Structure 1
Amino acid sequence: MVRLISKDVDLRELLNQIGSDPASYGIFLDKDSHLRVWIDEVYYPAASVIKQECLSCGADAAVHKHVITGKVEKSSVLILANVRQLKCLVDKLRRMPYWGLNQIADEIKSVLEDREARTFVLTMPNGTLELRRTKVMTILNATPDSFFPGSRVDLHTGLERAVDAEENGAAFIDIGGASTRPGAAEIGEDEELRRVIPLLRQVRERVKLFISVDTYRAEVAKQALENGADLINDIYGLQFDKEMANVIADYGVPVVIMHMRGTPATMQEYASYDDLMKELHTYFVERVEYALSKGIKENQIILDPGIGFAKLPEHNLEVLRRIEELFTLGFPVLVGHSRKSTMGKILGGVPAEERLFGTVAWTSYLTWKGVHIVRVHDTKPNVDAVKAVEAIREGI
């Protein structure tokens, strides 16, 4: 597996993880000014060749200290290089049809291509949307037990919230009928339909926003799409209901594939990781392959790392710090960070009602990082944050 590693990760931590000689740390720290490309566990002669070819291209690579002696069978590799040097390395490795080096070359090339600024275009029943800048998705919870009481809506308040979202610059609204907060109990399909469909119909008649429906049930998704929804947001990543992928493929709409372990009721029992970002990368590769095998097209897929889902606060912060690593998978990235409990902990244990300013700060950070969609409870403050950051980056 080949992936980029964020510059926000301590290089010493990465070198220690590889098993590099501590005496070499200073050398690599002096060269850590460009891209970091991580290659997981390759046969030790391949690791040695990659390092030598990196040096011949003017780059460098960290490997396990015993690669040169052959005392380890495998080693991960951390390449420190600029784009020109990586292209040189790709050209060299492609000529080596042994130890998987030519395949590694192709993966490095793919990572480079997906790293480049890409404009994604979502094609939906009610139009198309270019994800060149960060877009805001406003949450409408048609539930009595969502963790933030201010997000709970009925038919009347839901319509008001949707109109407000449109007037204040949101691109999407996301209607959910089943709470997915930690510990939430599962409700029946009939109850979910009763909560979602009437609100969806009413909102569809009044606003031109793109409407997402937050559901993991195929029948709810199908009825939502029949009643004006534009995309489906599935916290189970197409795993809960085996018919969900077929519905997405049949209707040709975008789908948000989120990372989670367990269920909302049990997920925090599974919040343990040896390498969180590797887990996310592996999970999304597998889920994307599954989606494609079911007839879902690449341009329909959006990825969500699942902030707060089977993750402790330290995990959530690591995902946010390294969010750009997910961009190299080649799909738009959505982050739902609004008023989450991690923010409450950071701010001294404040309730969800007092986490707005922290949420807006995270929205600003994610916009600067280049996240494609932020899913939030409060439209105007977050839209303003996006506009302010984009103005610094691109001008008014």
Structure 2
Amino acid sequence: MSTDQRPTITRPRVMGIVNVTPDSFSDGGKHFDSAAGVEHARRLIAQGADILDIGGESTRPGAAQVAEFDEILRVVPVIEAIRKASDIPISIDTLKPGVAKAAVAAGATIWNDVAALRYSPNAPEVAAELGCEVVLMHMLGEPGTMQDDPRYDDVVAEVEAFLLARAFTAMAAGVSKDRIWLDPGIGFGKTVAHNIALLKALPRFVALGYPVLLGASRKRFIAGIDPSAGEATDRLGGSLAVHLHGAATGVAAVRVHDVREMVQALDVQASILG
């Protein structure tokens, strides 16, 4: 391929993960203390994160739910501290409208909802009231049971139809179309084969006309391809491969644990293809 035929890639934004939880699948407990969470957030900013995603409830397979009050106590001090020190966009990773309200009041600017505004009947209206950007993700079932036996007739078509339906529901409630993001939900109620099919179909999701968030960092399906990657921290190579593929297909952002490595990989990719 000659240089004038090389594809151009718009570098996706890097969303750094800050789990203020005791039981997240990859770094559970490591940043549970508010001070540790804030310090980790500052480290991710220094490493080049464009967005921070703050979560106070684990959505790993089999995870138990956290009371709304407790979730707010976990995330709000971290968001407030980050906002005082930086104007970086902050995403709140929660299913609960009440947590989203508290987080936005504390300085969050994005609601990242793995339930796509289905957890509570008033979630779409709350999203419209808040006026923030909203990420609608596909998840089969709920975190506690989503990986028990996920089945689809056509995973790509079903995930696409779900996301479009949720986007239309959000807009009917008053959320502006330009505030809506879509996420195919890699690892959320999917087998290895389902995840691979969705990754191959990323151009189809990008073509829907909404920004796409891709989050596959350290996910278990990588170990399904490389059985030696039994521990989440052994999956850096697979995580980078997936997100570089996402960049090549036009996703708007990638949600990752390993910010420095992801930023470096994207910069090298952009230098080769630029």
Same fold (TM over 0.5): yes
1:181 is aligned to: 60
Tell me how far 1:281 sits from its aligned partner: 1.5
Superposed CA offset, 1:226-266 (max 9, x none): 11001100000001112222222112110000001211001
1:369 to 230, 249, 254: 249
2:3 is aligned to: none
Q: Is the 8 A contact 2:19 2:27 kept in 1?
A: no
What aligned pairs does 1:237-386 form with structure 2 within 5 A after superposition? 237-269=116-148, 271-349=150-228, 350-386=230-266
Range with greater deviation from structure 2 (149-158 or 136-145): 149-158
1:149 to 27, 32, 43: 27
Q: Structure 2 counterpart of 1:190, which letter?
A: F
Instruction: State the distance in 2 between where 1:206 and 1:143 align.
Output: 22
Rg (Cα) greater in structure: 1
Please report the TM-score for the alignment, with normalisation by the length of structure 2.
0.92
Instruction: State the distance in 2 between where 1:163 and 1:248 align.
Output: 27
Tell me how far 1:152 sits from its aligned partner: 3.6
Tell me how far 1:390 sits from its aligned partner: 1.9
2:38 is aligned to: 159
Residues 222 and 150 from structure 1, CA distance in 2 versus in 1: closer, same or farther, beyond 3 angstroms?
closer
Q: Structure 2 counterpart of 1:354, which letter?
A: D
In percent, how many aligned pairs have the same letter? 40
Structure 2 unpaired stretches of 5+? 1-7
Instruction: State the distance in 1 between where 2:39 and 2:28 align.
Output: 13
Instruction: State the distance in 2 between where 1:383 and 1:254 align.
Output: 23
Residues 257 and 151 from structure 1, CA distance in 2 versus in 1: closer, same or farther, beyond 3 angstroms?
farther
Structure 1 unpaired stretches of 5+? 1-116, 118-130
Instruction: State the distance in 2 between where 1:258 and 1:270 align.
Output: 19
Instruction: State the distance in 1 between where 2:189 and 2:206 align.
Output: 21
1:191 is aligned to: 70
Instruction: State the distance in 1 between where 2:150 and 2:205 align.
Output: 19
Superposed CA offset, 1:308-333 (max 9, x none): 10101111111111111101211000
Q: Is the 8 A contact 2:21 2:28 kept in 1?
A: no
1:138 is aligned to: 16
Tell me how far 1:198 sits from its aligned partner: 1.2
Please report the TM-score for the alignment, with normalisation by the length of structure 1.
0.65
Q: Show structure 1 runs of 4+ deviating over 4 A.
A: none
1:8 is aligned to: none
1:216 is aligned to: 95
Q: Structure 2 counterpart of 1:228, which letter?
A: G
SS at structure 1 position matched to 2:82: helix
Instruction: State the distance in 1 between where 2:126 and 2:239 align.
Output: 33
1:232 to 111, 117, 138: 111
More strand by share: 1
Instruction: State the distance in 1 between where 2:28 and 2:237 align.
Output: 15
Q: Is the 8 A contact 2:72 2:99 kept in 1?
A: yes
1:388 is aligned to: 268
Superposed CA offset, 1:107-150 (max 9, x none): xxxxxxxxxx9xxxxxxxxxxxxx95311000000000000127
Residues 236 and 271 from structure 1, CA distance in 2 versus in 1: closer, same or farther, beyond 3 angstroms?
same
Instruction: State the distance in 2 between where 1:359 and 1:285 align.
Output: 26
Residues 248 and 303 from structure 1, CA distance in 2 versus in 1: closer, same or farther, beyond 3 angstroms?
same
Instruction: State the distance in 1 between where 2:241 and 2:162 align.
Output: 28
Higher relative contact order (CA 8 A, sep 6+): 2
Superposed CA offset, 1:199-220 (max 9, x none): 1111111222110000111111
Equivalent residues, number:
265
Residues 303 and 152 from structure 1, CA distance in 2 versus in 1: closer, same or farther, beyond 3 angstroms?
farther
